[in-house]
Structure formats: C-alpha cells, structure tokens
Amino acid sequence: MLKTLSFFRDFPENELWEVLKISKWRPFAAETVLISEGDVGDSFFILASGTVRVTRGKRLLNVLGSGDCFGEMSYLAKRDGPRSATITTATDSIVMKVRAADLSDASPSCRRLFDRKFLETLVERLETANQQLAVT
C-alpha cells in the first residue's frame, strides 16, 4: 500500500520496510479532529486514504487527500511547538502517524527521503499560497 501513495513513490523497498516499522496506522471516522490548532505535537501524519480539512479558526485553508502529509513542521522544527491549524477528517480515513523521535532514529537514507518529500511539499504549498495572494 505504501508504494501506491504519492509521498512514498521514490522510496526504495528497504526504506518502505523501515517506514512500516516506525509508523502506526489507524482508521478514523469522518469529522474526527486529528490535530487541534495550538496543541503541542511531536508527530506528523500521512493520509493513506480519505480526505481531511485544514482550518485555522473558522477559515478553510486546504483539503488534503490520499498521499498528502500534515503536521510535518513538528519534525522539521526539531521542537514540540504549537500546531498552526486544525486537521479534521472530511471522510472516513486511514492515517499513518510517525513520531518525530522515531524518524530521528531511522537510517540516514530514510530520513533524507522524508526530508526531500517534506521540502517538495513545503515548496508546493508556498507556490499555492503565492498564487492565492496574487489573486486577492
């Protein structure tokens, strides 16, 4: 299943096995709050199936689907900072959770692959934000 998710498309098989060892998978019903804005977090998530809404206050920021990640700043910032948005399942979903500490203990090659995907994700989100600002 991992290889079918866009996030893991470039991961070789040995790193996929490592991902399985450090992650926890869980189903969630629609309308379940996974992350609350302002809460402190030490994990990031990858959506295996379903969709989630990203909101700040009452404002909808984004809708994420299968293969998308969220909460990655807790790993990238190397500290347990407050969450910047609320993540709520829009549909029944399966979510993969990885604690930042567990990824920090993973092999250097596995961490590099995650770092590359996080960087790609952040660049895409920045480009989208710039486009939205240009329209308003």
Q: DSSP strand E in the chain: where?
A: 23-28, 33-35, 43-49, 52-56, 59-64, 69-70, 86-89, 93-99
The pLDDT assigned to 136 comes to 67
Tell me the domain boundaries of the chain. 2-131
CATH assignment of 2-131, among 3.60.15.10, 2.60.120.10, 2.60.120.260, 1.10.3720.10: 2.60.120.10
pLDDT confidence of 77, banded at 50, 70, 90?
Answer: confident
pLDDT in tens, 23-50: 999 999 999 999 999 999 889 999 999 9
> For 108-119, b where at least 16 C-beta lie within 10 A, e where not — what string?
eebbebbeebbe
pLDDT in tens, 95-136: 999 998 899 899 999 999 999 999 999 888 888 778 877 876
